[in-house]
Amino acid sequence: MGSCNLAMEELNEKKDNRKSMHDFLSDSTLFPKSSRQVNSSLTKEFFWYAGYPITIQESIGDYGATVWPAATALCQYLEDNQKEFELRDRKVLEIGAGTGLVSIVASILGAYVTATDQPHILGNLRFNLSRNTQGRSIHQPDVRELVWGENLEQNFPQASCFYDYILAADVVYHHAFLDQLLTTMKYLCHPGTVLLWANKFRFRTDVEFFEKFRHMFDTSLLAEFQSLEVKLFKAKAKFE
């Protein structure tokens, strides 16, 4: 089976694994983790992180508007390890923010958050960030366009754009822009910047990307989420 078919199978599995809002509220074994309410091609997923209910609008069929397993794994890790990774008043940028779940949690935990993605994703990203951070975050999150590998110095000048943390969840999958992604990751990291990258490894190209990543970053495995088949890495860029 081709890798693209595998990706579509996983997307279809998300479609089939649906629970109504009634089921969500009545099944205490699911709360506070997550559930989904379906309406045509738009769905809502419900989560509970950092002491708040979080409602995410997503679009089945659009990779960038779907909550993927690595995002929930990273959110859980950030919530559970606040002493090790103190986000309060830290500058955080998320690469490929998608629906915004990770950025929302980082914002609620007190970070100055910049959520980035491609232009067609930004409308839904802004919507989710706004609805879930108002009255909960001490710093209003920012949403910015970031096309991997394009206009980096123009849009994110290194002289003025420093981030304590770069967050990335499920940004590596079967697409044609892996080299541009790696370039972007390295560009955004200054000495001292910590990159937290969570990913489900599905394809041969994912492993090949990781090998290139390790040549450019000092990398350590922070956690494995076996039920989600997700690995979480901590990395710092190598500078000569």
More confident residue, 175 or 62: 175
Q: What pLDDT is stored for residue 176 in this prediction? A: 87
**Number of neighbouring beta carbons within 10 Å of residue 31:** 15
| pLDDT tens-digit series, residues 78-101 | 999 999 999 999 999 999 999 999
How big is the CA angle at 184 (ends 113 and 60), to the nearest 5 degrees? Answer: 65
pLDDT > 90 in the chain, percent: 75
Q: What confidence score (pLDDT) does residue 162 get?
A: 98
Q: Rounded CA gap, 64 and 96, in Å? A: 8
φ, ψ at 213 (rounded to 5°): -60, -45
CA 113 to CA 107: how far, in whole Å? 6
Query: Which tens digits make up the pLDDT trace of 208-240?
Result: 999 999 999 999 999 999 999 999 999 999 997
State whether CATH 3.40.50.10490 applies to domain 63-237: no
* CA distance linking residue 43 with residue 57, whole number of Å: 6
Q: Which helix (H) or strand (E) segment is 231 a member of?
A: strand 230-237
Give the tokens for residue 119: 């232009």
Q: What is the pLDDT of residues 97-118, one digit of tens each?
A: 999 999 999 999 999 999 999 9
Lowest mean pLDDT among 48-62, 93-107, 166-180: 48-62
